[in-house]
């Protein structure tokens, strides 16, 4: 029986650890942000060819959705860095969200409800 190659074993561990961090909601939010950004540019192109309030509304809504999804993805990065104790800058909004989220998780674990 031959021993497995060390290089192949190391690569398998890396692939599995990378796949652990990929979650369905992260992929979903990323896809929503890409679609919102493309709709924003499409509406902007239509505004330049023909000015209408519908295209302006689509552009504003798409921009708001993109900014929201971008801030959600930023929070996920902030949360991971905070858990690693590797924060460079603290953001008050993300700190508030982190405290609220961890407080709710702690209350659910102990069976307390507000």
Q: Where are the domains of the chain?
A: 24-110
Reported as a single tens digit per residue, the pLDDT across 5-32 is 555 545 544 445 555 667 888 899 999 9
Reported as a single tens digit per residue, the pLDDT across 47-78 is 888 877 888 888 999 999 999 999 999 999 89
> What residues have CB less than 8 Å from 97, skipping those under 6 apart?
75
| pLDDT at residue 37 tops 90 | yes
Q: Tell me if residue 3 falls in helix, strand or coil.
A: coil
Give CA torsion, residues 94, 95, 98, 99, to 10 deg: -150
| pLDDT at residue 95 tops 70 | yes
Are 26 and 49 in contact by the 8 Å Cβ rule? The answer is no
pLDDT of residue 64: 95
């Amino acid at each position: 029986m031959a021993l497995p190659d060390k290089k192949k074993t190391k690569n398998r561990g890396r692939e599995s650890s990378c796949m652990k961090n990929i979650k369905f909601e992260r992929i979903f939010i990323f896809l929503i942000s890409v679609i919102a950004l493309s709709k924003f540019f499409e509406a902007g192109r239509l505004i330049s060819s023909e000015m209408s309030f519908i295209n302006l509304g689509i552009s504003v809504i798409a921009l708001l959705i993109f900014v929201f999804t971008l801030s959600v993805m930023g929070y996920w990065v902030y949360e991971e860095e905070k858990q690693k104790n590797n924060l460079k800058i603290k953001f008050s909004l993300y700190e508030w969200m982190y405290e609220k989220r961890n407080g709710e998780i702690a209350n659910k674990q102990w069976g307390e409800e507000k």
